Structure 1
Amino acid sequence: MAVVHVATTTAACLKEAIDSLFAKYGLSVARLRGQGYDGASNMSVEFNGLKSLIMKENPYTLYVHCFAHQLQLVVVTVAQENQYVCDFMWIVGSIVNISASSCKRADKLRQLEHDRKVKLLERGEISSGRGLNQETSLARPGDTQRGSHHSTLCHIEQMWPSVIEVLQNLIDDGDRSSKGLSRTLVERMERYEFVFILLLMKRILAITNHLSTVLQEKDQNIVNVMRLINNVKYKLQKLRDSGWDILLEDVKKFCNTHSIEIINMTDNINSRSRLKRDGKNVIEIILQEMDSCFSETTTDLLIYMSCLDPRNSFSRFDVQKLVRLTHFYEDDFSWNERMLVEQELETYIDDVRSDERFEGISDLGALAKKMIETMKNRMFPLVYRMIELALLLPVATATVERVFSAMNIVKTDLRNRIGDEWMNDSLAVYIEKDVFNTVDNEPILQRFHNMESRRMQLSRIR
C-alpha cells in the first residue's frame, strides 16, 4: 500500500503520479495486468479517464469496476427508475432525518423501543430478554455506504410502534414544519403500499447485502466473486418467479399486527396487480443493472477465469474457454504457447483430478500454493501463469476506499502539515492494525529509544 499526494484529481495528474510511483520502485506499467477503481468519471470515463490513459500504454491492464461499490449503486438506480421505490426511499430518508434531528428524540426512540420489548417480555410474547439492548438507532442510508439501506429498513420494521409514536409526538409537540412533515410520514407509513415496498426491498437487499459484505473482505478472488454473483442472480430470479405469495402473506400479517388497512383483493384487484407488477419490475431493474456492471469483454474474461475453480474436483474446468483466455493476454502467452496450451490443459486436468493431494482445495489461492508445494507449477507453467493472472486481477477496491476513510482519522487538524512519508507510514499502521497487533511493542520501543540519546528509558506498554 502506498499513499501519494496529488495536486489535483484529474486523470492526467493521477497518471503522472502513478508513473512516478512506479519509477520510484523500479516497476513498469507494461507489466500491469489489471486495474480497478470506484467508477468515478475521472477514473473510468471511456476516452480521457485514468483507465483509458493506462490502457493506451498497456492494453492488457483490463479494467474491472469495483464490485462492492457498483452493487450498492444498484439501489440508487432502482430508486431513480421506479416511482414506487423512489417515493419509498424519500419517506425512509425523511423518517431517519426527523427521528434523529435531536439527541433527545433519538434517545426517546431508543427508550421507547426498549420499554416496548420489556412489556412484550413481561406478557410472555417474546421468550427471552435477548436483544433488549441491541442497536435501536435509525442509521441514515447512504448511496455508497454498504449495507446501510438494509440495516435501516430492518430497524424501521423492528421499531415500527416506536417510530410511529415518536412521529405522533412531533405532530402534537413539534414546530410547524415538523408537525406537517410528521403527519405526512405517518399517513404514508400506514398504507398498504408502504408496507409492501418495505418488505419487498428488505428481501431484495438481504439477498444483495451478503454479497456486498463478502466483497469488502480482503483477498477476494475472481472465482469466488463470480460464484457469489451468480448465486445472487439466482435468488433474485427465484424471488421474482415464486416469492410473491409468501411476500403478500407477510405483508398481510404485518398490516394486521399494526392495524393497517389491507387492500381488498376483490374490489382493488387492479391496485394489487399494479403493486405486484411493480415489485417484479424492481427485481428486473436490479438484475439488468447487475448484468451491466461488466462490459462484454470483462464478463467473458471473468467467466473464462472461473473455469480454473478447483472446487468439486474442478467441475467447472473447460479447456476451450481457458484456451480463449490466453488471447486476452497475448503479451503473456506467445503464439507458440497459445498453440501448446490446449494439450497442457488436458494433461493438467487429468493429473490433478487423479492426485489425492488436490482433493478438498476450495479456492485459487490454495490451488496456487499446492501447485508450488508439489512442483506442478514447473510441470504446467502455462496453467500456473493463468492462475497467477486470475489472482492478480482486482475485483473490489473496498480496501483501497477504506484508505480514504482512514485519512480523515489520521490526518486531523493537528496533523494538517504531515508529510507524505509520515502519512503513508501512519496509514499503513492504522489500516493494517490486525497485522501490527501481532507485533511485540518492546522491540519497537527499544528501536525508538536507540535512535538518539534520551534522559530516561522508555517504559513498557502494558
Structure 2
Amino acid sequence: MHKWESLRNPSKLIERVISTQSSQEVADNRLRLITTIESVRLLACQGCAFRGHDESVNSSNGGNFNAVVDSFGRMNIDIRRVLQNAPGNAKYTSPIIQKQILNILGNKVRTKIREEVGDAKFCILVDEAVDVSNREQMAIILRFVDCDGFIRERFFKVLSAADTCSQTLKDEISKVLTQYDLQLENMRGQGYDGASNMRAKGVHDIWEFFSTLSLIVNFVDSSAKRHSALRVIREEEIADLVAAGAIETDRGANQLCTLQREGATRWGSHLRSISSLIKLFGATQTTLADLVANGPNKLQGEAKCVGNAMKRFDFVFCLLSMHDVMKITDFLCQSLQKKAIDIFNALNFLSITKSKFQDMREDGWNDLIVRVESFCCQYDIIMLDMSAPYKKSTRAYEQNITNEHYYQVNILNAVIDFQLAELDSRFADNSLELLLLSATLDPHMECGYFLADIQKDPRFANTTTVSDLCRRLVESRKSAFFPMIYRLICLVLTLPVSTATTERAFSSMTIIKNKFRNKMEDEFFDDLMVLYIEIEFADSIDNDSVIAEFEVSGPRRV
C-alpha cells in the first residue's frame, strides 16, 4: 500500500524528479556563470590583471579573478554553495571560459557602438603606437553625431599591425568596417596622426635648447636622492620668499612641484617641462651646485656641465621665448583635444592663435628682452650686449649682424614662422571654405525661414555653437522640419578636427598592457581595451544576453 500511494502521488513520479533535478542544475550553473561574468566585467572595466602567479588551490593569493569570485561567495550564501559544490567540468572559472566571456562582452560593446552609429555619417580616426612588447598597435576611433545631436568619438578597435605601410593599414581598416557593416559610402572623413608637432626644432638653436632641457631634467629627476634634494631646497626657497613678502599666500598656491619630462608627441608636455624649470630654476641651480661641491666624484663633473649649460644666455633666451610661444599654442592644442570640438570652433581658435603669433612677431620683442634681462639678473647669468656683433657664427660676424638681430630674427621670428607654416599646412584652404559654410549655420547669422523660426523659440535663446544648435534641434524636434539643414549641421560636426582620442586610447594601453602583462593575445587585448575605455556600454550589458550567446558556443546547461 505504501508503494501504491507513492505511485499515485504525481510529485514523486520519476519524470518529475528528473525534471526538478535538471531545473536546479541549470539554476546552479547560471549562478556560477553570472559570478564569472560579473568578475570578468569588473576586472576588465577597471583595467586589472585576471591571473595570478600561482592559481593552485593551496596558493595564498590566486590572482584577482579568483579573489573576486571568492569575495562574491563570502557575500552570498547561494553563490558559496554552488561554487563549493561545482562539478569539475562545470565550474565556469577556467581561463578559457574567462576569455570567452570577455570576448562576448567586447563584441556586445562594439555592437552597441555600431547601433549608436546607425545610419549616420561617420569619420574614422586612426593612429599607431608601439606597446610595451614592441608590437605596433593601431587604434580605430569612430566619430559621428548620435540620434540626440551629440558629437561622439567612440573607441572601436585596436589591431596589431605587421607594418605601418599604407596598404596594410588600409586592408586592416577595411576588414573592420566590413565586419561591422560600416558602409564606406557613409564615411565622410579620415584623420591620421602622421606629422611631427615639434617642427620648431627645425631651428637649430631650438633643437639644441630642447636637448639641453632634456639633459637637465633627466639628470636631476632620474635619481631619487637628487629629486628629494630639489624638493627640500624648493621648500626653503618658498619659505624665504613668503617671509620676504615676495610671493602671495593663498589656498592651493606655492605648491611643491618637480621638473617635468617632455613627451614625444604632445606640445602640452613640452610646455609643462619648460614651465617647471622656470619655476624651479633657482632650486635646480642650488641642487647642481651642491652636487659639484659635495656630491660623489663620479657626478661632480656631470653636475658642473649641466649647471654651466643652464647659465648660458642662449639657453635662458630660448627658455623664456619658447614659454611664450607654447602658451599661445597650448590653448589651441587643449581645445582641439576636446571630443565635442567642431570644425567651426576649431577654425575660430586657429584664427585667434595665428593673430597672437603675428602680434608677438611684430610687437613682442621688447617685452621679451626685458624679461630675459630681469631673469638673467635674478640668477646671476651674464646678459649679452644686444648691440654688439654676434660672434658665434662666422657668417653672421662677417655680415656684421648684431646679437639683437640674431636672437630676434634667426630664433624668435624663425620659430613663429615655423608655427604659422605648421598651422597653415594642417588647416588647408578647403577647411577655410568649410568655415564659411558652417558660419551660415550659426544662430546669429541669417538663414531664411530657419533663422526666423528659431529666433522666436526661447529654447534657442542661449545657443552659441553649432554643436549646441544640433542638440537643440533634436530636443525641439525641429530637425524633422529642417531636415537638410540638420543634415548639413551633422556633416560639419562629424568632420574630424584632431586625433586626440587615439592618444587617450594609447594612454589606456599602457594601463592594460604593461611590463607585467606584455604577452597577452591580440584578441584578449582588444576586448580588454574596448571594455575599459567604453565602460558605460560595458556596464549596461545584460547578463541574460551574455549567457544566451555563451550557450550558442556549445552544449551548456545554463
| Counterpart selection for 1:20 from 151, 170, 175 | 175
* CA-CA distance at 1:231 after TM superposition: 1.1
* CA-CA distance at 1:200 after TM superposition: 1.0
1:288–1:185 Cα change, 3 Å: same
State whether residues 470 and 489 of structure 2, in contact with CA within 8 Å, keep that contact through their aligned partners in structure 1.
yes
Structure 2 counterpart SS, 1:220: coil
Which residue number in structure 2 is paired with residue 275 of structure 1? 407
Which residue number in structure 2 is paired with residue 3 of structure 1? 157
State whether residues 411 and 418 of structure 1, in contact with CA within 8 Å, keep that contact through their aligned partners in structure 2.
no
State whether residues 114 and 133 of structure 1, in contact with CA within 8 Å, keep that contact through their aligned partners in structure 2.
no
1:141–1:361 Cα change, 3 Å: same
| Counterpart selection for 1:79 from 174, 177, 201 | 201
1:173–1:393 Cα change, 3 Å: same
Structure 1 counterpart SS, 2:479: helix
String of CA shifts for 1:4-44, please: whole Å, max 9, x gaps. 434524433333333332233222112111111212xxxxx
1:15–1:84 Cα change, 3 Å: closer
* CA-CA distance at 1:215 after TM superposition: 2.0
String of CA shifts for 1:110-139, please: whole Å, max 9, x gaps. 221112111222333323275677352212
Aligned pair 1:404/2:506, yes or no?
Answer: yes
Q: How does 1:151-300 map to 2 (within 5 A)?
A: 151-173=272-294, 178-267=299-388, 270-277=402-409, 278-297=411-430, 299-300=431-432
Give aligned pairs, total. 381
String of CA shifts for 1:301-321, please: whole Å, max 9, x gaps. 54244424526x13xx6xxxx
Aligned pair 1:147/2:249, yes or no?
Answer: no
1:387–1:109 Cα change, 3 Å: same
* CA-CA distance at 1:87 after TM superposition: 1.8
Structure 1 counterpart SS, 2:172: helix
Cα distance in 2 between the residues matched to 1:259 and 1:159: 15
State whether residues 309 and 315 of structure 2, in contact with CA within 8 Å, keep that contact through their aligned partners in structure 1.
yes
1:97–1:7 Cα change, 3 Å: closer
Structure 1 counterpart SS, 2:157: coil
| Counterpart selection for 2:481 from 372, 379, 393 | 379
Which residue number in structure 2 is paired with residue 31 of structure 1? 186
Cα distance in 1 between the residues matched to 2:271 and 2:160: 36
Structure 2 counterpart SS, 1:113: helix
1:8–1:166 Cα change, 3 Å: same
Letter matched to residue 508 of structure 2 = A
Cα distance in 2 between the residues matched to 1:175 and 1:272: 41
Cα distance in 2 between the residues matched to 1:219 and 1:230: 19
Give me the TM-score of the superposition, normalised by structure 2. 0.61
Letter matched to residue 274 of structure 1 = Y
State whether residues 146 and 213 of structure 1, in contact with CA within 8 Å, keep that contact through their aligned partners in structure 2.
no
| Counterpart selection for 1:416 from 519, 523, 527 | 519
Cα distance in 1 between the residues matched to 2:487 and 2:531: 33
Mark the runs of 5 or more structure 1 residues left unpaired by the alignment: 40-69, 318-344, 453-462
Which residue number in structure 2 is paired with residue 364 of structure 1? 466
Cα distance in 2 between the residues matched to 1:227 and 1:132: 33
Cα distance in 2 between the residues matched to 1:6 and 1:266: 58
State whether residues 200 and 279 of structure 1, in contact with CA within 8 Å, keep that contact through their aligned partners in structure 2.
yes
Cα distance in 1 between the residues matched to 2:205 and 2:298: 25
Tell me which stretches of 4 or more aligned residues in structure 1 moved more than 6 Å. none
Give me the TM-score of the superposition, normalised by structure 1. 0.73
Q: How does 1:320-359 map to 2 (within 5 A)?
A: 346-353=448-455, 355-359=457-461
Cα distance in 1 between the residues matched to 2:311 and 2:418: 27
**Rg comparison, structure with higher value:** 2
Cα distance in 1 between the residues matched to 2:230 and 2:193: 36
* CA-CA distance at 1:193 after TM superposition: 3.0
Cα distance in 2 between the residues matched to 1:131 and 1:17: 49
- Which structure shows the higher strand fraction? 2
Structure 2 counterpart SS, 1:138: coil
1:231–1:295 Cα change, 3 Å: closer
State whether residues 259 and 280 of structure 2, in contact with CA within 8 Å, keep that contact through their aligned partners in structure 1.
no
Cα distance in 2 between the residues matched to 1:135 and 1:424: 39
Identity of aligned residues (%): 30
RMSD of aligned C-alpha atoms? 3.2
Q: Does 154-163 or 187-196 show the bigger shift?
A: 187-196
Cα distance in 2 between the residues matched to 1:296 and 1:403: 30
Structure 2 counterpart SS, 1:361: coil
Answer 1 or 2: higher relative contact order, Cα 8 Å, separation at least 6. 2
Cα distance in 2 between the residues matched to 1:381 and 1:123: 66
Structure 2 counterpart SS, 1:3: strand
1:152–1:180 Cα change, 3 Å: same
State whether residues 460 and 472 of structure 2, in contact with CA within 8 Å, keep that contact through their aligned partners in structure 1.
yes
* CA-CA distance at 1:213 after TM superposition: 1.8
Which residue number in structure 2 is paired with residue 310 of structure 1? 442
* CA-CA distance at 1:150 after TM superposition: 0.7
String of CA shifts for 1:344-379, please: whole Å, max 9, x gaps. x54434544565543321222221122234444333
- Which structure shows the higher helix fraction? 1
| Counterpart selection for 2:494 from 392, 409, 428 | 392
Structure 2 counterpart SS, 1:2: strand
Which residue number in structure 2 is paired with residue 50 of structure 1? none
String of CA shifts for 1:92-111, please: whole Å, max 9, x gaps. 11111111231111111122
Structure 2 counterpart SS, 1:292: helix
Cα distance in 2 between the residues matched to 1:418 and 1:14: 20
String of CA shifts for 1:259-278, please: whole Å, max 9, x gaps. 22223345469112221223
* CA-CA distance at 1:88 after TM superposition: 1.3
1:354–1:399 Cα change, 3 Å: same
* CA-CA distance at 1:249 after TM superposition: 1.6
Letter matched to residue 487 of structure 2 = R
Letter matched to residue 26 of structure 1 = D
State whether residues 267 and 326 of structure 2, in contact with CA within 8 Å, keep that contact through their aligned partners in structure 1.
no
Aligned pair 1:103/2:224, yes or no?
Answer: yes
1:444–1:214 Cα change, 3 Å: farther
Cα distance in 1 between the residues matched to 2:520 and 2:402: 64
Structure 2 counterpart SS, 1:35: strand
Cα distance in 2 between the residues matched to 1:273 and 1:7: 49
1:27–1:429 Cα change, 3 Å: closer
1:194–1:414 Cα change, 3 Å: closer
Cα distance in 1 between the residues matched to 2:215 and 2:252: 26
Cα distance in 2 between the residues matched to 1:271 and 1:245: 14
1:194–1:15 Cα change, 3 Å: closer
